Structure 1
Amino acid sequence: ELGRAYRGLARGGVVGPVREVRAAYGPDGTALPVPDEMAPRRFLAARPVELLTDVLADEAARAPAFGLDNALRLPFRVAAKTGTSRAYVDNWAAGFTRERTVAVWVGNFDGTPMRGVSGITGAGPVFARVMSLAMKGVRPAPLVDRSHFDSRAICPLSGELAGPNCPGVLQEVYLPGTAPRHVCTMHRSDGALDVGPAYLAWAQAEGLASASVDAGNRSGGTPGFILPADGDEFLVEPDLPESAQAVPVRVMAPPGARMLELRTDTGRRIDLPPPFVTRLPAVAGERRLELWAPGGSAPLAVTRYRVR
């Protein structure tokens, strides 16, 4: 199934028939018909598939996780992705050129975990070897025609168009009509960083500019829960101790707030100072959480989530 899906991407969003049996014969040696599994059909539009292919073939994007010299770096451009399941039970590598599609699974047939073998270290090298052999003697066609995309210089932090105060610029491609339209406002002319209240906790954890705190205090946004969002569902990992698992809470505070209060469905009250972030025990069941201002007569916001 995985190989078939990637083959569909290689064909521009068209999934075609796959034959696992090349020929069949009756008892008397007479050839029997082998029907196609399905007729070719389009399952994704061509342009989004082309953009997805460009993402999967981006060697620079792989480098932060895998390094420049990794198993997916081949003499020709290849769109590829690795994956690793829980506890290293399975790992995969799948990808394609315009001419060949390869999908690899690595694991133990009895389902026991491997010893720290991930997709890039297990299935990745197998994928690279098989793809190299499959492409031997084949001249690869271009994977992507970037003339179909719009190109923009963006701020890597905000994702908006790069402004005069942005310290770094990234050239990114977009489907026509989907490129950002607004110039980055996070980087200020005085060198400070204004990430706004939604990213306040992250900015403080990263040790970024103190202007982030000002952004949180002058927020004009509606008070509410960023996390958990209403309807969120959290899964408890059975192999980890409960004490090591928690539900993250992040709040959009009203302007000038210095202290807020969380009220749980068990009657617990928790003081929440800036940056208005905490963690709650992952208690199984349907949960309700309220956000209060000190002395308030009604909650500022309510969110419901599920832990299972």
Structure 2
Amino acid sequence: MRWRAMLGLGALAVVGAYGALVAQRASLQAPAPTPILTDRHGLFLAQLGHEREVEGARHTEYGFWVATPLPDRVVRATLALEDRRFWSHPGIDPLSVARAAWQNLTGLEVRSGASTIAMQVARMQAPAARHLWSKALEAGTAVALTWRYGREAVLEQYLRLVPYGNGSHGIAHAARFYLDKPVADLSWAEIAFLSAIPQAPALHNPLRPDGLRRAVARGQRALNALAAQGTIPADELDTARAQLAALALPQPPRRPAALHLVARLRATLARDGAAALDPADPRLRTRLDLGVQGMVEELAQAQLEALRPCGAQQVAAMVVRRADRQVIAAMGSAGFATTPGGAFDYTLASRSPGSTLKPFLYALALQRGDLAPAEIMGDLPDGASGIANADGGWLGPILPRQALANSRNVPATNLLRRMGLDAGFGMLQRLGLHDGAGQPERFGLSMAIGGLPTSLERLMRAYGALGDDGWLADLDWYEGQSLSPRRQVLTAEAARLVTLFLADPQARLPSFPRYGPTEFPFPVALKTGTSQGYRDAWMIAFSRDWIVGVWIGRADNAPMDGLTGGNAAGPLANALLQRLHGSTPGLLVDGGFPAPAGMEPVTLCAQDGRPDRGRCSRTLTEWVRPGTLPPEDEVVAIRAAPPEGPTPRLSILSPENNARFWRNPELPAALNRMPLRAAASAGVEQLVWYVDGEPFAVAAPGETVYWPMTPGPHRFQLRLPFAPELSRPTRIVVE
């Protein structure tokens, strides 16, 4: 009797364990639908899947789209091929079980399975080795699922989970992935074709020619079975057979090489979500334009190749539509696996921004009243801070417009000192240029000249605010992205004034010669940046329609050979903007950026900030509020005092007047140089060399400057910075 009791207890234990396992599995579970990403025109970009590890190998699975409402043709074909008595049995089909058992016992070669759709759902939700116990669990789970959710929900789950090869799950995703159409539009031929794949997805892989042939052949047998059961109307059968025989899949979607874009979109989607992403068709239209992306990559690669001899290793670039901050293109590196450090996304990397933060400090000073547009700033040696200008020279008394456009370091650091480190640090944080970590004293005055690291993406967002009357907005990567509310971080007056500073080619002289990379045939506000030791070269520029950002540097943060924002990043940013605008070289576009409301233009002397009375050799137009210019004698008091004594004498020592020179055709262009030497009377510390009427270089008397020779007649002249004194011209001819 004891063994009977023990046997009974054992049976109860098995039944209890079985019931517990069935109850644990008796719920409909599926991974979240995975999106297919397209560009703004609907071109395939990528699909984001679920990664999982199976037996030590990583697999990526896609799909799991909800097929609702259930298309009638798909339902009829699925039930005819997989589970003919689906609407009548409780989740297991006793007739199919009996038939399968008889075939196994009698050893028939042709066998039919006993798995119902509900049992297949149970198996797909909890895969296990194929043995009697797992089949028993599937059977019990199938009955529980059918009882709990109903047959229609179980059928929806089956059509959501069934695998179609190449990582695709669910017929709705397979229809879009293989045939590029919604599941509701599938023909009988296409349904038969797709029905062939789940039985052996690797064998019937339609992306391989042999797999496609097998899938079509099996699909023809499926059509015959559907016809035998009367599922396909007789008048549609011949058409379905012909269509299946001639089936040709669209070109399979290919992901572009921009892996950084895919990773960025995945991270942004995980962080911000996508409003109203349809689980039945979760295609996500991004703001990107693959045509523009390709153009950016082509131009960036070409520029990087030209700069490699100077030590450049990497390039990053972004294009944002100015009106709504939509990201049109983003290049994270010059090659994910083919260049040094290519796996890093340099649009996100924190680097020294050089002088690209200066505009925001000027804007803050203007809106606080710490700076006036007509105020004279001093670009003079500052021994207390030890900060000098990148060119080692000084421009003396200078207007804010010129100080910023020439990217002078001393005026910017003095301005930050005047406002206070806390004020500058707080403004840069409100603009999102840093996350607030650290104390302002840690960065000190170097915040103004590149000492506070930031990223290209952060700069694009901040410059978007500068070009939008001070309104800061998130970058928009895709439709339905959860964006923070826009907020105003700068006054419109300050933002517009600084934009006008950055858009004035005349104000960039003499540091940035005319008709170089900083010149455009349409209005553009721009700022270059070069970090210490030539480790980073930047340009951020915005026009009426676009914001473009470029970074060039090295993966190991080592110095480059003389590459600056102007000569390295500038040509690429220039080329990108001109391509985006479709400009013809030499075609000048009228108009400009809007002036601050309530301000009027005044012509000022560049040397002292006084209104022009016809006495100035160099003038600039500035916008000021009526009645805010101080009396002339007060302005004289704040400007730099003129040098005492007689007018300085300036003379060119080399080349000699009326000399002729010959270029050596066997030498590289960089070695065909002419030395320029000058002399000046005592007290003169700095000279500006002019070549053919344009400023060429700033140097001290006695310092040799080298001019790259170009054929033709040329005219040389010396001048004091922002002063009327000129030397006699020297004319030469280069053969």
- Counterpart in the other structure of 1:97: 543
- Counterpart in the other structure of 1:210: 645
The alpha carbon displacement at 1:101 in A equals 0.4
Residue by residue over 1:36-78, the C-alpha shift from the partner in whole angstroms, topping out at 9 and shown as x without a partner, is 2x21111111122111111111011123112112102122110
Q: How does 1:73-222 map to 2 (within 5 A)?
A: 73-136=519-582, 142-146=591-595, 148=597, 149-162=599-612, 166-168=615-617, 170-177=619-626, 179-184=628-633, 199=640, 203=642, 208-210=643-645
The alignment status of 1:63 with 2:509, answered yes or no, reads yes
Q: Give the direction of change, closer, same or farther, for the CA distance of 1:113–1:156 in structure 2 (3 Å limit).
A: same
The alpha carbon displacement at 1:199 in A equals 4.3
The alpha carbon displacement at 1:13 in A equals 1.4
Q: Which amino acid aligns with 1:62?
A: R
The farther-off stretch of 44-53 and 151-160 is 151-160
Structure 2 gaps, min length 5: 1-457, 584-588, 648-735
- Normalised to the residue count of structure 2, the TM-score between the two structures is 0.23
SS, match of residue 121 in structure 1: helix
Q: Give the direction of change, closer, same or farther, for the CA distance of 1:34–1:152 in structure 2 (3 Å limit).
A: closer
- Counterpart in the other structure of 2:494: 48
In 2, Cα distance between equivalents of 1:163 and 1:131: 38
In 1, Cα distance between equivalents of 2:605 and 2:507: 16
Residue by residue over 1:269-290, the C-alpha shift from the partner in whole angstroms, topping out at 9 and shown as x without a partner, is xxxxxxxxxxxxxxxxxxxxxx
The alpha carbon displacement at 1:79 in A equals 0.5
In 2, Cα distance between equivalents of 1:144 and 1:126: 23
The alpha carbon displacement at 1:178 in A equals 7.2
- Counterpart in the other structure of 2:475: 18
| Greater percentage in helix | 2
Q: Give the direction of change, closer, same or farther, for the CA distance of 1:10–1:154 in structure 2 (3 Å limit).
A: closer
- Counterpart in the other structure of 1:291: none
Residue by residue over 1:12-50, the C-alpha shift from the partner in whole angstroms, topping out at 9 and shown as x without a partner, is 211112134x37xxxxxxxxx6422x2111111112211
- Counterpart in the other structure of 1:303: none
Q: Give the direction of change, closer, same or farther, for the CA distance of 1:141–1:199 in structure 2 (3 Å limit).
A: closer
In 2, Cα distance between equivalents of 1:107 and 1:179: 44
SS, match of residue 511 in structure 2: helix
The alpha carbon displacement at 1:82 in A equals 0.5
- Counterpart in the other structure of 1:35: 482
- Counterpart in the other structure of 2:278: none
SS, match of residue 65 in structure 1: coil
Residue by residue over 1:215-236, the C-alpha shift from the partner in whole angstroms, topping out at 9 and shown as x without a partner, is xxxxxxxxxxxxxxxxxxxxxx
The number of equivalent residue pairs is 186
Structure 1 gaps, min length 5: 24-32, 188-194, 213-308
In 2, Cα distance between equivalents of 1:34 and 1:141: 36
Q: Which amino acid aligns with 2:482?
A: P
| 8 A Cα contact 1:163 1:183, kept in partner | no
| 8 A Cα contact 2:610 2:635, kept in partner | no
Q: Give the direction of change, closer, same or farther, for the CA distance of 1:161–1:51 in structure 2 (3 Å limit).
A: same
In 2, Cα distance between equivalents of 1:186 and 1:12: 30
In 1, Cα distance between equivalents of 2:627 and 2:562: 40
In 2, Cα distance between equivalents of 1:141 and 1:16: 29
Residue by residue over 1:75-108, the C-alpha shift from the partner in whole angstroms, topping out at 9 and shown as x without a partner, is 2110101010100000110010121101111101
State percent identity of aligned pairs.
25
The alpha carbon displacement at 1:184 in A equals 4.8
Q: Which amino acid aligns with 1:210?
A: G
| 8 A Cα contact 2:467 2:496, kept in partner | no
Q: Give the direction of change, closer, same or farther, for the CA distance of 1:162–1:209 in structure 2 (3 Å limit).
A: farther
In 2, Cα distance between equivalents of 1:186 and 1:50: 25
Residue by residue over 1:193-222, the C-alpha shift from the partner in whole angstroms, topping out at 9 and shown as x without a partner, is xx78x845xx5xxxx34399xxxxxxxxxx
In 2, Cα distance between equivalents of 1:167 and 1:142: 26
Q: Which amino acid aligns with 1:161?
A: P
| 8 A Cα contact 2:595 2:623, kept in partner | no
| Greater percentage in strand | 1
In 2, Cα distance between equivalents of 1:59 and 1:17: 30
Root-mean-square deviation (CA, aligned residues, Å) is: 3.3
Q: Give the direction of change, closer, same or farther, for the CA distance of 1:112–1:146 in structure 2 (3 Å limit).
A: same
Between structure 1 and structure 2, the one with the greater Rg is: 2
| 8 A Cα contact 1:150 1:179, kept in partner | no
In 2, Cα distance between equivalents of 1:141 and 1:157: 28
Q: Give the direction of change, closer, same or farther, for the CA distance of 1:179–1:83 in structure 2 (3 Å limit).
A: farther
SS, match of residue 122 in structure 1: helix
SS, match of residue 129 in structure 1: helix
- Normalised to the residue count of structure 1, the TM-score between the two structures is 0.52
Q: Which amino acid aligns with 1:10?
A: G
Q: Which amino acid aligns with 1:101?
A: I
In 2, Cα distance between equivalents of 1:141 and 1:46: 23
Q: Which amino acid aligns with 2:507?
A: A
| 8 A Cα contact 1:97 1:143, kept in partner | no
| 8 A Cα contact 1:160 1:184, kept in partner | no
In 2, Cα distance between equivalents of 1:131 and 1:173: 26
In 2, Cα distance between equivalents of 1:42 and 1:16: 9
